[in-house]
Chains A and B, each alone.
Chain A
Amino acid sequence: MFEEIGTTEEGDLIINVGPQHPATHGVLHLVLTLNGEIIKKVEPHLGYIHRSIEKMCESLSYRQFIYVTSRMDYLSAHINNHACALIVEKGLNVEVPQRAQYIRVIMDELTRIASHELWWSAMSMDLGAFTPYFLAFREREKINEIMEETCGARLTMNYMVPGGVMTELHPDFQEKVKSFIVDFKKTLHEYDELITGNVIFQNRMKGVGYISKEDVITYGCTGPVARASGLRSDIRKIAPYDVYDKVEFDEIIETGGDCFARYQVRIKEMSQSIRIIEQLIDNIPEGDFQAKTKAVLKLPKGEFYQRVETARGELGVYIVSEGAAQPYKIKFRSPGFSNLSALDHMVRGHKIGDFIAAMGTLDLVIPDIDR
């Protein structure tokens, strides 16, 4: 009944945010119940970019389905592909060459930096600061160039294949990555100057969108959102894959649980990614970049689950195989889906501005949620 008249009896306003809204980063549709500026309820309506990827994958071969997943969470396309490659390798018991593993991890971390940069710029833009957008995209563009040279695409690379990576690294790769690292370390300082230290920004962030550790667990939040509330949830530490157990890096844990803590986690994660790349980039072993696999891959009958840490958190791929060339059932457990469910809890009683800030720090990628 409330929905029909647009207001509830207490004079609350029901307002649609999205699907076309600058702050929803795509097509998230949220129905806000407002009392003046105060948010009483946030109700997500999904499906505006539901492309039935899971259904599609049931009719694609194990080589083919990887490319669809890069359209899922397009900001961590490499990492999605990585997860799919890993699960196929797990099913086939393929040993991936060391070189491929190194390349994969470097690519993952570059992707993570690029993704966090986009998050940083988009979040700043949600908060009304425009210049960060351009500064972050300058760095992102450098990563894109590196990617483009090696993978042949800027965003949805489709570089990982079961058994390794698709092509050899570009000769300039190492050199460019190293110079990028040098530049990026300088740039991180600029980010602090422009946004992190800014008094307006801190007031917008601190104490906003608080979520406790218990709530994080029960809402199933992952990634920076969980780590900002003190939950150790980095899959790279919990269940290391490829060469993550060989590199040294810190799992960033903050205990604030508010937007600022989430912000800090991501900013610090970028420097950790740099640290990982620095350790690997000079030590890429020689050898094959791809293991020999059959032309048609068939996973044995059974169930497989692979978890990886994307830029947004834990991505799980669950495959039920019947022994055919296509998966019988596939399920992507996307990080954004569970993070989104905590949004209502975070912003109740806050103002519209806080809601935008909280949503910015959740770093949602909607196709990842809708799949």
Chain B
Amino acid sequence: MFLADYIKDVYGAVKSLLTGMKLTGYYFTHHKEIITEEYPNNRATLKLADRFKGEVWMPHDENNEHACTGCSSCEIACPNGSIKIVSMNVINAEGKKKKAIDQHIYRLDMCTMCGLCVEACPTDAIHMRNTFELSVFDRNHLIMRLNKPGSKIREGVE
């Protein structure tokens, strides 16, 4: 029957629409469902995953010493050349000339956070750090030197 179908159509349509409205209505009335985290206000409590790869970082200990030998493994491992090692020769205590790192240049503007450099590092000198507040107004600021000025290689790291 045409008319019965017509009414059934209308009824079904209205019912399906009301079902949808019920769901949005539920969320409208249940504010506990809100999951927003207010970023700049929650900076104090914000805990990111430890493994989150935000930038490459070279840990320095209290003596301003790091573990980078300047072996260039990371530079080779990096797929898109965002690490550059500038090495220099230093004369160590025994009077021998030895290659050491001068600048570990890291281009954050190109880094893809793939973690291959960290994998490749034989002395565990570089890590991924979970920082993220890195925005700048000039992209030159994103070219960083990872070893701090005046830092040295830690004793015993080969």
- Cross-chain contact B115 with A166 (CB below 8 angstroms): yes
- Cross-chain contact A198 with B20 (CB below 8 angstroms): yes
Complex CA–CA separation, A200 to B113 (angstroms): 44
Complex CA–CA separation, A151 to B77 (angstroms): 19
Q: Which residues of B contact A64 (CB under 8 A)?
A: 77, 79, 116
Complex CA–CA separation, A153 to B51 (angstroms): 8
- Cross-chain contact B79 with A149 (CB below 8 angstroms): no
| Contact (A199, B116) CB under 8 Å given A151-B51, A152-B53, A167-B51 | no
Judge whether A351 is part of the interface by a CB distance below 8 angstroms. no
Cβ distance A200 to chain B, nearest Cβ, rounded Å: 8
Complex CA–CA separation, A106 to B19 (angstroms): 34
Judge whether A182 is part of the interface by a CB distance below 8 angstroms. no
| Contact (A199, B13) CB under 8 Å given A68-B79, A131-B24, A194-B20 | yes
Q: Which residues of B contact A150 (CB under 8 A)?
A: 51
- Cross-chain contact A193 with B52 (CB below 8 angstroms): no
- Cross-chain contact B51 with A170 (CB below 8 angstroms): yes
What does the 1/0 interface line of B92-119 toward A look like (CB < 8 Å)?
Answer: 0000000000000000000011111001
Complex CA–CA separation, A167 to B52 (angstroms): 13
- Cross-chain contact B119 with A153 (CB below 8 angstroms): no
Complex CA–CA separation, A202 to B12 (angstroms): 12
- Cross-chain contact A149 with B51 (CB below 8 angstroms): yes
Complex CA–CA separation, A141 to B37 (angstroms): 12
Would you call the interface of chain A mostly helix, strand, loop, or mixed? helix
Complex CA–CA separation, A156 to B17 (angstroms): 38
Judge whether A33 is part of the interface by a CB distance below 8 angstroms. no
Cβ distance B24 to chain A, nearest Cβ, rounded Å: 6
| Contact (A166, B119) CB under 8 Å given A138-B35, A193-B22 | yes
How big is chain A's contact interface, by range? Answer: 20 to 34
What does the 1/0 interface line of B1-41 toward A look like (CB < 8 Å)?
Answer: 00000000000110011011011100100000001000000
| Contact (A67, B20) CB under 8 Å given A148-B51, A153-B53 | no
Judge whether A63 is part of the interface by a CB distance below 8 angstroms. yes
Cβ distance A322 to chain B, nearest Cβ, rounded Å: 20
Complex CA–CA separation, A31 to B30 (angstroms): 45
Complex CA–CA separation, A198 to B51 (angstroms): 42
- Cross-chain contact A152 with B116 (CB below 8 angstroms): no
Judge whether A197 is part of the interface by a CB distance below 8 angstroms. yes
- Cross-chain contact B23 with A67 (CB below 8 angstroms): no
Complex CA–CA separation, A195 to B116 (angstroms): 43
- Cross-chain contact B79 with A152 (CB below 8 angstroms): no
Complex CA–CA separation, A306 to B116 (angstroms): 24
Could you tell me which A residues sit within 8 Å of B by CB distance? Answer: 60, 63-65, 67-68, 71, 131, 138, 141, 145, 148-153, 156, 158, 166-167, 170, 190, 193-195, 197-200, 202
A-B contact pairs, 13 of them (CB 8 A): A64-B77, A65-B79, A71-B112, A131-B24, A148-B52, A152-B49, A152-B52, A152-B128, A153-B113, A190-B23, A193-B19, A198-B17, A199-B16
